[in-house]
Amino acid sequence: MTEGTHFQRVRPVRLYQDIVDQIESAIARGALKPGGRLPSERELVAQFGASRATVREALRVLEAHGVVRSRPGQPSGPEVLSFSPDSLANQMTRLVQLDGMSLTDLLAFRMVIDGAASRLAARLHTPEQRDAMERSIAAMEQAIETGYDEFSEADVAFHDAIAQASRNAMIQVCNNVVRGVVLQVIEDKVRRAFDSEALMRESLQHHRDVFEAISTGDGEAASRIARQKLYDYYAGYVPEEDRAGILALLDVEPP
CATH architecture of 15-83: Orthogonal Bundle (1.10)
Residues paired with residue 69 on neighbouring β-strands, in sequence order: 79
State residue 170's pLDDT score: 84
pLDDT at 93: 66
Domain spanning 86-247: CATH 1.20.1300.10: no
Q: With helix as H, strand as E and coil as C, how does 90-145 read? A: HHHHHHHHCCCCCHHHHHHHHHHHHHHHHHHHHHHCCHHHHHHHHHHHHHHHHHCC
10-residue stretch averages of pLDDT, the chain, 255 residues long: 64 77 88 90 92 92 86 80 72 64 84 96 97 96 88 92 93 82 69 71 93 97 94 86 89 59
Distance CA 44, CA 132 (A): 50
Taking the C-alpha atoms of residue 167 and residue 153, their distance in angstroms, rounded to an integer, is: 22
Distance, CA of 163 to CA of 140 (rounded, Å): 18
What is the reported pLDDT for 175?
Answer: 83
Both ends of the chain: CA-CA distance in Å?
A: 57
Planar angle of CA 224, 112, 27, nearest 5 degrees? 160
Per-domain residue ranges of the chain? 15-83, 86-247
E strand residue ranges, the chain:
68-69, 79-80
Distances from the Cα of 177 to the Cαs of 65, 110, 139, 201, 223, in angstroms?
Answer: 15, 10, 22, 24, 19
Q: What is the pLDDT of residue 195?
A: 65
HSE toward the beta carbon, residue 167, CA cutoff 13 A: 8
What is residue 182's predicted lDDT score, i.e. its pLDDT?
A: 77
In DSSP notation, 150-164 reads HHHHHHHHHHHHHHH
- CA–CA gap between residue 242 and residue 105 (Å, rounded): 10
